[in-house]
Amino acid sequence: MRFYLLLGLISLSSFELFFVPFLFVSCLFVFLFNLSLVPFFSERPHFFRDDYLKGFKGTLPFFSF
């Protein structure tokens, strides 16, 4: 099994040999970074908190403090 894997690595070009792991690690980093942002966006921002009381009186939410 290892021999076939080694043959597969030898057949890769030097570009693929370095780019594919780099692409994988980059995607993993972006995924983990986005996952770390989830708690910040799990609740609605504070300027939406009393919109249901005001009844959306024609004002944009970020102007209704």
Percent of the chain having pLDDT more than 70? 38
CA-based radius of gyration for the chain: 25
Report the pLDDT value the prediction gives residue 36, as an integer from 0 to 100. 78
Distance spanning both ends of the chain, measured CA to CA: 65
Average pLDDT over residues 8-28: 77
Sequence-distant (6+) residues with CB within 8 A of 44 are none
Question: What are the structural domain ranges in the chain?
Answer: 12-63
Report the pLDDT value the prediction gives residue 12, as an integer from 0 to 100. 62
Report the pLDDT value the prediction gives residue 61, as an integer from 0 to 100. 57
User: Band of the pLDDT at 27, cuts 50, 70, 90?
Assistant: very high
Task: Encode pLDDT of 30-43 as tens digits.
Answer: 988 887 777 666 66
* Cα angle 48-53-54, degrees, rounded to a multiple of 5: 80
